[in-house]
Every structure is written in C-alpha cells, then in structure tokens.
C-alpha cells in the first residue's frame, strides 16, 4: 500500500524532536472516526491508524442506519475529512483477533483505542427461536443494507404477518422498511436484491410487541411520525392499552408528553387509503414461537406493570396468554458486543469491555457501543468518543504514555504480509466508493453497495 510522504517524515520524531504518539483505533465506525477527529485537534502531530475488519469504512452508519434516512448518513462527509487528514491512515480488511492480536497492537503503538462496536444480537431465549423465518432484526437490517454475511439471508416474505418483538428504533426501522412502498425505497441505497424481494412481499400487517406500556415505549417521536405518515399504511393501536394514560400527561417530561400525545391523537385516526397495517401492541412478552416447518404463531404472555416510578415500572407476567399470527418473527431486543480476544477484559453480563471511564489498562481504551453498551445514537456516540479522546490526551500528557519511539504500522505490517492480508487503504476505498456510486447512477439511486468481500478486494486492486 502507498504511504503518504509526510508519514515517513513523521515516522518517529516531529521537527522539535518530540516523539510522535502512535495511536491505533480498532473499528472504523462512528466512535473511531470521532475519536480520531478529536485526537488530531488536541495532539500536535499524532500518527493515527484505524484498523477495520471490513474493506469498507463507516460501521453502522453504512450497515445500520436505514436506507430511507440519507440525511443521517451525511456524517460520512465528516469521517472522510478525518480519513484524508495526513495524520490518519485507514487500514481496512484487518481484523483484530484474527489478523492481528491485541498484544501486537499494544507493542506497536503507544495507545490502542477499541471501538469495534456491537455486532451480535441479544436472544429472546424462548422455545421455537430456532424455527425457520425467526430472524433477528440485526440480520434483516444487514440484509437490506448489504452486510456481506447477511446478503444471502433466507427470509420468506410470502406470509401476511410479520411480528416484531421490541419497540426500539431498530424495530421501527424494520417495520417501516417492510411496510414502505417499494417505489419510495427504489430511490435509496437499499440493496437491489432486498428491493426485489420486498417488491414481491405479501406482508400486510406488522405487529410491534412491547413488554410494557405506551409511557415506557422506546421508539422516538421522529420514528413514530414517519410510521404515521407512511402513505399506504394505517397505524392501528389497541385502545385498551391506553386506558388511564392521559391522566399522566401533566406529569411527563416535555419529550415524553409530546410522543404520548401523538399516540393518543393517532388512536382516532385512520388512513382509508391504506392496504397495509402497523399494529403496536403493549403489555405482552413472547413466551414461545410455534410452527412446524417454519414459524406460524407466537404465544404471548400478558403483563401488568409494577413499581412506583411510572416511567421505570417493570413488566410482570400474569398467568394469562394469547396467540398471535407470525409468518415472520423478528426479535429486536438489542445488539451485543463480543470479546474478540480472550486478553480483552470483558464484562459478559453487561456485554461491554470492562472500563473505568473508558480506561481499560495503561495505554488501552474503549469507546462507542463497545464501552457504553449498544445504546444511543450517533450524537451520543460522538460525545463519548470526544470524551475518550480527551482522556487519552490527558493521559499522554500526564502518564508518560509516549516515553519511547514505537514502530506503529511498520511493526505489524510483516504479520499481515505473512498472513496474506490485502490491506485496504483509503485510496482503495475511494475506488470501491466510486464503483458503488457509478452503479447507483445507472439504477437511479445514490449507490448500489458491493456486498461481496472478494469483489470489494478485486475492485480495490483494479486500475479503475
Ligand atoms: P460501529 O458503528 O458498529 O463501528 C464499529 C466498527 O468496528 C465497524 O466498522 C466494524 O466493522 C468494526 N469491527 C468490528 N469488529 C472488528 C474487529 N475484530 N477488528 C476490526 N474492526 C472491527 N443513530 C442515529 O443517530 N440515527 C439513526 O438513524 C440510527 N440508526 C441506527 C440503525 C440501526 C439498525 C442501528 C443498529 C443503530 C442505529 N443508530 C442510529 C445508532 C448508531 O449507528 C450508533 O450509535 C453508532 O454507529 C455506534 O458506533 P460505534 O463506533 O460504537 O460502532
């Protein structure tokens, strides 16, 4: 791979003979890029290498954010500026835990910052979860967004009902994509194979099951408004779920009050043009998924709420159940981080890297969903990344972290060569990016993503 000229200039010493801080960020997602941005601002001339397991950058901004939310993806312009800074180098197609070890990184760099996110799903842990067509929301998101390992997802959209467990924004994203007009989705960067499957979909009703009530719902007002405005879809609530809710309005925070008022208002509304239905259901927990060849229905436990603080009330199962159709069942109860290497101190209960205000060990830090847990949005992840970068800068200045020159990438390069790893530079990514955008122009969309890793590597290697 080609290195920028001033990289060699800066390799060990700055002009005033200070040692160059060599920093390795693991994961080219939101936390990784924002931390790098802040580190460039606060340190004089650091050398920051961002290693990323995929040949393409941007993590969940590329593979999570819904295709019909292009405005959210504008953050990639900021990330691109960071990557183009001479102090920063993107090293794609390099996976921590497989291609390189944490020890190798810690030996080669003064600071290692782990930001490899949350790439697994939490499980429902109920009977029937392994039936065909029970598919985690994370995998459906990956399918329509072109995650390489979800491109061949075996999803059957020939039934009329999809039942989603969980009421967060990811659950709403999946519901909206299943219920949207395909003509609208065509203009987005959704993958062509997903578009084709969705154009043949027979799904008419999407249930959104929550354990607790309308006051505890996890979706936000923007996402709810989008559902209510879907042209060919009617949102149908169960009036009995809202008994007594309006009495609490006066005591709610402004934000909570607005979303509750919107739900109450839409109770009365009905979209007469609609041929599809979005049906949120509260106070229900999935107990069992039932089917022969594939999932057919779900047995739901009926809950009551207990606890003083109305917003923090807990769902408690009553001894009553009911059944609901589910031709497709979609658990959407959260993402989960992984311990990619046994040397990484990991809190398995919370599913995060063990840390004390982002510090893991001397010279080792964590940020983003890997450190905070899989909660919050790009803005909150940015805030966390900035804080962690400030901590790193403080520690560099006060704890003598940069006491002797270190080799950085030069020290791990040979390992990667020996393992035959094709390291992807930012210039390589730009070729893939151009290829995707050119393909998108032909299809009348912003881009058509390359979903095959070998193909990404071929394009990167080509003389396009
Ligand atoms: P990530 O963005 O996941 O970055 C982690 C990176 O690490 C990835 O690139 C991954 O490939 C890489 N990696 C993983 N393992 C390794 C390894 N072993 N070695 C090297 N690299 C590795 N927020 C909003 O503000 N608006 C939205 O509309 C929105 N929609 C969302 C939709 C979905 C489905 C999801 C799941 C989240 C959404 N979010 C949204 C939240 C937002 O995406 C996150 O807050 C943010 O991306 C988390 O950033 P991160 O850096 O912690 O993780």
| In a domain? residue 281 | yes
Q: Kindly state whether residues 69 and 208 are assigned to the same domain.
A: no
Q: What is the CATH number of the domain that holds 75?
A: 3.40.50.720
pTM value? Answer: 0.94
Q: Kindly state whether residues 254 and 396 are assigned to the same domain.
A: no
Are 32 and 368 spatial neighbours (Cβ–Cβ below 8 Å)? Answer: yes
| Torsion (CA) 400, 404, 405, 407 in degrees, nearest 10 | -90
Which residues' Cβ are closer than 6 Å to ligand 1?
26-32, 51-54, 59-61, 64-65, 69, 72, 95-97, 115-117, 119, 141, 170, 173, 335, 340, 368-370, 376-379, 381
Number of alpha helices (DSSP H) and beta strands (DSSP E) in the chain: 16, 18
Render pLDDT for 317-357 as a digit per residue (tens, 0 to 9).
999 999 999 999 999 999 999 999 999 999 999 999 999 99
Are 112 and 412 spatial neighbours (Cβ–Cβ below 8 Å)? Answer: no
State the average pLDDT for the chain.
94
| In a domain? residue 431 | no
Could you tell me what percent of the chain has a pLDDT over 70? Answer: 96
| In a domain? residue 447 | no
Whether the per-residue pLDDT at 17 is higher than 80: the answer is: no
Render pLDDT for 349-392 as a digit per residue (tens, 0 to 9).
999 999 999 999 999 999 999 999 999 999 999 999 999 999 99
Q: 356 C-alpha to center of ligand 1: Å?
A: 22
Whether the per-residue pLDDT at 3 is higher than 50: the answer is: no
Q: Kindly state whether residues 303 and 344 are assigned to the same domain.
A: no
Are 346 and 354 spatial neighbours (Cβ–Cβ below 8 Å)? Answer: yes
Phi, psi (deg, nearest 5) at residue 120: -120, 175
| C-alpha closest to that of 173 among 126, 214, 110, 223 | 223
Whether the per-residue pLDDT at 13 is higher than 70: the answer is: no
Render pLDDT for 404-456 as a digit per residue (tens, 0 to 9).
999 999 999 999 999 999 999 999 999 999 999 999 999 999 999 999 999 99
Cα distance between residue 38 and residue 393, in whole Å: 9
Q: Kindly state whether residues 168 and 308 are assigned to the same domain.
A: yes
Identify the band that residue 268 occupies on the pLDDT scale cut at 50, 70 and 90.
confident
How would DSSP label each residue in 428-445?
Answer: HHHHHHHHHHHHHHHHTS
Q: Kindly state whether residues 175 and 92 are assigned to the same domain.
A: no
Q: Kindly state whether residues 347 and 406 are assigned to the same domain.
A: yes
| In a domain? residue 194 | yes
| In a domain? residue 458 | no
Q: Kindly state whether residues 218 and 142 are assigned to the same domain.
A: yes
Question: Which residues lie closer than 8 Å to 443 by C-beta, 6 or more apart?
Answer: 192
Q: What is the CATH number of the domain that holds 258?
A: 3.50.50.60
Q: Kindly state whether residues 75 and 20 are assigned to the same domain.
A: yes
| In a domain? residue 453 | no
> How many distinct structural domains can be found in the chain?
2
Whether the per-residue pLDDT at 9 is higher than 80: the answer is: no
Whether the per-residue pLDDT at 35 is higher than 50: the answer is: yes
| In a domain? residue 448 | no
Decide which of 334, 368, 403 is a domain's last residue: 334
Q: 341 C-alpha to center of ligand 1: Å?
A: 19
236: domain range? 123-334
Identify the band that residue 309 occupies on the pLDDT scale cut at 50, 70 and 90.
confident
Atom of ligand 1 nearest to the CA of 137: 34
| C-alpha closest to that of 26 among 86, 81, 106 | 106
For residue 73, the 8-state DSSP code is G
């Amino acid at each position: 791979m080609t290195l920028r000229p001033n990289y060699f200039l800066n390799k060990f010493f700055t002009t005033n003979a200070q040692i160059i801080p060599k920093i390795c960020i693991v994961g080219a997602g939101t936390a990784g890029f924002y931390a790098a941005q802040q580190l460039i601002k606060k340190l004089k001339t650091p050398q920051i290498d961002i290693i990323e397991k995929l040949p393409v950058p941007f993590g969940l901004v590329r593979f999570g954010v819904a295709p019909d939310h292009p405005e959210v993806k504008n953050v990639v312009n900021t990330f691109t500026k960071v990557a183009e800074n001479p102090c920063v180098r993107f090293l794609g197609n390099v996976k921590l835990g497989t291609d390189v070890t944490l020890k190798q990184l810690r030996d080669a760099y003064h600071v290692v910052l782990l930001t490899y996110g949350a790439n697994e799903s939490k499980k429902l842990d109920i009977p029937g979860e392994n039936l065909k067509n029970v598919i985690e929301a994370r995998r459906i998101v990956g399918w329509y967004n072109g995650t390489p390992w979800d491109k061949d997802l075996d999803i059957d959209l020939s039934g009329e009902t999809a039942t989603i467990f969980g009421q967060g924004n990811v659950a709403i994203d999946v519901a909206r994509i299943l219920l949207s007009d395909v003509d609208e989705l065509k203009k987005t960067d959704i993958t062509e194979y997903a578009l084709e499957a969705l154009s043949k979909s027979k799904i008419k009703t999407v249930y959104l099951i929550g354990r607790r009530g309308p006051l505890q719902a996890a979706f936000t007002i923007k996402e709810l408004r989008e559902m209510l405005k879907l042209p060919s879809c009617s949102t149908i609530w169960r009036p009995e779920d809202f008994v007594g809710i309006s009495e609490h309005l006066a005591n709610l925070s402004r934000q909570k009050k607005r979303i509750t008022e919107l739900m109450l208002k839409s109770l009365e509304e009905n979209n007469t043009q609609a041929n599809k239905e979005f049906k949120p259901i509260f106070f229900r927990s999935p107990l069992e998924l039932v089917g022969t060849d594939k999932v057919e229905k779900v047995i739901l436990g009926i809950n009551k709420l207990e606890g003083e603080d109305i917003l923090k009330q807990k769902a408690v199962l009553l001894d009553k159940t009911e059944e609901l159709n589910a031709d497709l069942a979609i658990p959407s109860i959260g993402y989960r981080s992984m311990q990619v290497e046994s040397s990484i101190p990991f809190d398995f209960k919370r599913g995060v890297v063990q840390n004390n205000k982002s510090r893991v060990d001397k010279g080792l830090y964590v940020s983003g969903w890997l450190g905070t847990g899989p909660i919050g949005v790009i803005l909150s992840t940015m805030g966390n990344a900035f804080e962690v970068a400030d901590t790193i800068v403080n520690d560099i200045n006060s704890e003598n972290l940069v006491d002797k020159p270190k080799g950085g990438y030069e020290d791990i390069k040979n390992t990667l060569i020996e393992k035959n790893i094709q390291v992807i530079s930012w210039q390589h990514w730009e070729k893939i990016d151009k290829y995707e955008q050119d393909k998108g122009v032909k299809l009348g969309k912003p881009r058509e993503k390359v979903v095959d890793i070998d193909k990404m590597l071929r394009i990167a290697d080509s003389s396009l």
